[in-house]
Chains A and B, each alone.
Chain A
Amino acid sequence: MNRAVTERAMAPSSPLRHCVVIAGVGLCGLLLPDQWPLLARIAVMALFVLSLDLVVGIAGLATLGHVAFFGMGAYAAGIVALRWTADPLLGLAAGAAAGAATAAVSGLLVLRYQGFTFLMLTVAVAQILHSLANKLRGWTGGDDGLSGFAIDPVLGIAPFDLEGRVAYLYALAVLVGSYYVVRHIVDSPFGLSVRGIHQCRPRMPALGTPVGLQLWKIYVVAGLFAGMAGAVSAQISGIVGLDSFGFSLSAEALVMLILGGAGRLYGALIGAAIFMVLHHTASSINPYHWLFVIGGLLMVIVLVPRESLASWLRAVPRPWANGARASKREVA
């Protein structure tokens, strides 16, 4: 590889550099064996929120029904493991396919509308899937949840252990790989056109962009990754419950995204990590008062102007992000 290619690959906003950072931070998690289960759940949620960022941050469509794809992915992976094959990678593919297919079909309907109507329609789709999952007890286990499936070792060599190390590394690997792909998509001309639709929708058709088609495509991609998150969640916990279609998951994911900052992709990961850690800590102190914390946090975040918060964050010295700061100024 010549110097120019290397430089481009390691440029501040390059996907590879981001992935290296994420993988690095993630692997540090291996030093905390007590927290592996929590870290694995953080990785799963980070992937889910990342897929949400595609719809909310990049495409600018506020949705509260994203959990529909997560749930479909989770049940798909569970059903495949129970009835067909216990190989985790095939289950992952099934989950991704289920999420993408659901997004494709529902997108045909909901993407025709905007604003509040769109928001409510996404909620309706998720709730309908929830009702169906409850009704089709033979397939989904209904309220009992889908259980009784064991997952084969990853790639045949790494069985899922009790301590959760393999589960964590598996979730982390899926997260890093997905981030890489998503970053490429967002930085591509397709991604730029979607950002354009977000910034000024009326202008885009004048540029020749098929607005409806582009939005549908990004919706399907988001559904695919949300489905993958659901599949990983099902595989590492060995059970899929109706809460995989729960409205609160959509709402929490949105909160996580805002915490970390929408539209920047890595913000999704940061937000998910902060939220889950806060939740875990606050819950063990006092479960109900957690709502005070998160409610107060949300209100503060909205009231304090984004600029002053951002400049406060920027003041924190981060030696590895010299270039990233420059790129943030461009993108944000």
Chain B
Amino acid sequence: MRKLIGGAIAAAVVFCAAQAQAATIKVGVIGPFSGPFAHYGKLYKDSVEAYLASQGGKFGGHEVQVLYRDNGGPNPSGTRALAQELIVKDKVDYLGGFVFTPNAMAVAPLITQSKTPTVIFNAATSDITEKSPYFIRTSYTLWQVTVPAARWAHKQGKRKMVTAVTDYAPGVDAETAFKTEFAKLGGTVVESIRMPISTTDFAPFVQRIKASGAEGVYVFLPGGPPNLGFVKAYNENGLRAAGIDFLGSAETDEFDLQKFGDAALGLTTAFHYSAAHESEANRKFVEALRGQSKDAVANYASVGAWDGMAVIQKMVEATGGKRDGAAAIEAARKLSWESPRGPVSIDPATRHVTQNVYLRKVERSGGQLINKEVENFGPQPDFGLRK
């Protein structure tokens, strides 16, 4: 009898030791999986699962377990509660996700206190990474993509532009970035139009743009129905014919791009990722996504999640799978790699990704609408934090 107990204890000890050696890495992903922004959640999940599959489900020899939590949209207090649960109860090693700025801001004190490296897959306001030294961002910021756009507009000979942005933090960032840069180069922004976030009828704003007498309009809208509505209004009210060129960023997002139809042809945007980017890394990414789920879309959100997981992998490898937030962040600061979007590196000062920004025009290729990259502005840092 004693031998049996002794054997059982020995087996248990060996079992525990074996578990401890290849400790599972837990990653918490917080995003909207229900409600009007549920498509972001699905994009994140598809991308994360695809990345894990491409790495054989392990980072640096450690099993990876991803816990998804739904915050329903912009919901700072709910997000904070979810993050608290993930950190305290589920004891996650890393956090990821975050579509909206207020949600990311809400978890800043938590991740600082618990030293949890947190990778932002989307939220694009510049000063988020300042709120905690444990934030890393793999998406973009408005300053980063807007400054090159302003420079390009000026190079094209435009001297009078109008900005039309959705009235919330990233939109205001975009407006400020464009105005500052354009003015620096000697142009003027004749009118800055702010559209309420709940707008569905863009005709009034488009009429104001027409009446402003500008040579072009710089636009920023959040993904989804506002994009469609605005582009429709732009076309239906004859802005192109009136000589007011369209310059945007994420409006021709691949997620809804096909819905625009021919109305979208020729639209110009300055952005950091196009699914039509020609590179081996991108081909692999798109293939992996398609393999994961038939209706997965390669766009800025899914590439943000893909690269976010890549950063987490590098952090796991650097810390040998142990939970050491400070060391992980230190390692992350020095990263540079080939992402599906092009060559990227993490800026050690801002912990935000430095990446190429491209000028794209919408074209039809193989029956599908794509964002064709026509110019590469080269690597751009986050100008918002360099003020």
Contact = CB atoms under 8 A, between A and B. Distances in A.
B106 A162 contact: no
A242 B168 CA distance: 11
A237 B168 CA distance: 22
B125 A144 contact: yes
B324 to A, nearest CB: 18
Contacts of A34: 85, 88-89
Interface in A76-112: none
B72 A238 contact: no
A223 interface: no
B38 A143 contact: no
Nearest to A236: B77
A146 to B, nearest CB: 9
Given A41-B81, A162-B110, A239-B77, A144 B34 contact: no
A164 B85 CA distance: 10
Interface residues of A, number: 30
Interface string A201-215: 000000000000000
A144 B38 contact: no
A145 B76 contact: yes
A283 B196 CA distance: 30
A145 B80 contact: no
Contacts of B106: 145, 147, 237-239, 241
A232 B140 CA distance: 35
Interface in A162-188: 162-164
Contacts of A163: 88
Contacts of A134: 167, 196
Interface in B82-97: 84-85, 87-89
Nearest to B82: A37
Nearest to B83: A37
A242 B76 CA distance: 9
Interface string B192-228: 0000110000000000000000000000000000000
A241 B87 contact: no
Contact of B81 (A145, A237, A290): A237
B81 A38 contact: yes
A143 B33 contact: no
A188 B76 CA distance: 39
A287 B80 contact: no
Contacts of B167: 134, 143
B87 A288 contact: no
User: 5 tightest A-B contacts by CB?
Assistant: A287-B34, A143-B168, A145-B102, A34-B89, A241-B76
16 contacts: A37-B88, A143-B102, A147-B76, A162-B84, A162-B114, A237-B76, A237-B77, A237-B106, A239-B77, A239-B80, A239-B105, A242-B74, A283-B34, A287-B34, A287-B70, A290-B34
